[in-house]
């Protein structure tokens, strides 16, 4: 991750993990390191999170096993390291803005949901939670944060359909703050960040804290979902589906990586053979 200090009060954090910005142990450690700086730099007011890759903001969990200690390590809050990262980001004394271009799925959606605000490219955004399509469920806060933003019915649509949602639909649902023409996205977010960065830190921190008091899910709900996700990773159905999508090109083929939720509804035909059967590959 590259950190660009635009001003003492405004930084840009750029995800740059080609080819797909897959979330693995290295990404989580980079976020942990940045959070320490965010929590201890008195001059800092706002951080914009963006991607160096035009088609992939953050893709999803690394499904090839390079997660390191992400599922087992404990962070400074006493929460598992992934939940620790998202909770500290939401509670940080700094405003976090997600400038979204490209694919944002699964744990990556949960990252932007943990940011204070989300702004998406109208032409180039795919947001979603494809976990159900690979036999899992969200475990990093998606099922806890989405209902507060979009309501129960739309949260269930996002989670249970395992579909992608474009920028305009995401804006209409409340998944993102705004969907903007791609040519206007950078300028809008930059202007907002600089405006916020000009305000007094004490007032920003107090206002964010008061909003957090009435809008954040409790720790125990986050822990329940994370523990259930860890269990789900060992389900045979999940292992079979993950093996199938990896075999079709996930994390290897750029075209498949961009569009893989489209095939999730066809991995298994009801009452037919399992996902590992060649007739469905």
Name the active-site residue from 110, 144, 171, 257. 110
Closest CA to 52 of 103, 2, 96: 2
Distance between CA atoms of 263 and 275, rounded to whole angstroms? 12
Is cis: bond before 217, omega within 30 of 0? no
Closest CA to 96 of 205, 181, 171: 205
Closest CA to 108 of 122, 81, 127: 127
At 241, list the tokens: 């589906």
Tell me how crowded residue 46 is: count the other CB atoms within 10 A of its CB.
26
**Is the CA virtual torsion 265, 175, 144, 31 positive or negative?**
positive
Longest dimension (CA), the chain: 62
Burial of 194 from C-beta contacts in 10 A (0-12 / 13-18 / 19+): middle
Name the active-site residue from 131, 144, 171, 257. 131
Question: Hunting for tokens 């579909």 — which residue is that?
Answer: 163
Catalytic residue flag (residue 110): yes
Q: Which residues are catalytic?
A: 110, 131
């Amino acid at each position: 991750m590259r950190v660009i200090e635009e001003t003492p009060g405004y930084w840009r954090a750029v995800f740059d993990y080609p080819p797909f910005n897959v979330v693995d142990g290295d990404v989580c450690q980079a976020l942990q390191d940045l959070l320490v700086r965010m929590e201890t730099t008195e001059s800092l007011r706002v951080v914009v999170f963006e991607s160096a890759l035009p088609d992939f903001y953050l893709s999803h969990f690394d499904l090839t096993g390079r997660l390191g200690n992400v599922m087992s390590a404990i962070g400074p809050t006493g929460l598992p390291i992934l939940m620790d990262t998202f909770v500290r980001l939401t509670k940080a004394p700094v405003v976090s803005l997600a400038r979204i271009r490209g694919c944002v799925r699964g744990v990556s959606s949960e990252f932007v949901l943990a940011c204070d605000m989300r702004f998406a490219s109208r032409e180039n955004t795919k947001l979603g939670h494809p976990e159900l399509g690979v036999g899992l469920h969200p475990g990093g806060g998606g099922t806890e944060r989405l209902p507060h933003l979009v309501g129960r019915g739309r949260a269930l649509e996002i989670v249970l359909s395992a579909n992608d949602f474009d920028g305009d639909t995401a804006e209409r649902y409340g998944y993102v703050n705004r969907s903007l023409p791609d040519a206007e996205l950078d300028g809008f977010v930059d202007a907002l960040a600089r405006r916020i960065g000009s305000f007094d830190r004490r007032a920003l921190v107090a206002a964010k804290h008061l909003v957090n008091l009435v809008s954040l899910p409790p720790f125990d709900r986050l822990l329940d979902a994370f523990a259930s996700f860890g269990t789900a990773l060992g389900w045979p159905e999940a292992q079979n589906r993950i093996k199938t999508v990896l075999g079709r090109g996930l994390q290897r083929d750029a075209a498949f990586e961009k569009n893989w939720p489209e095939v999730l509804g066809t991995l298994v035909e009801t009452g037919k053979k399992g996902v590992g059967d060649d007739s469905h590959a």
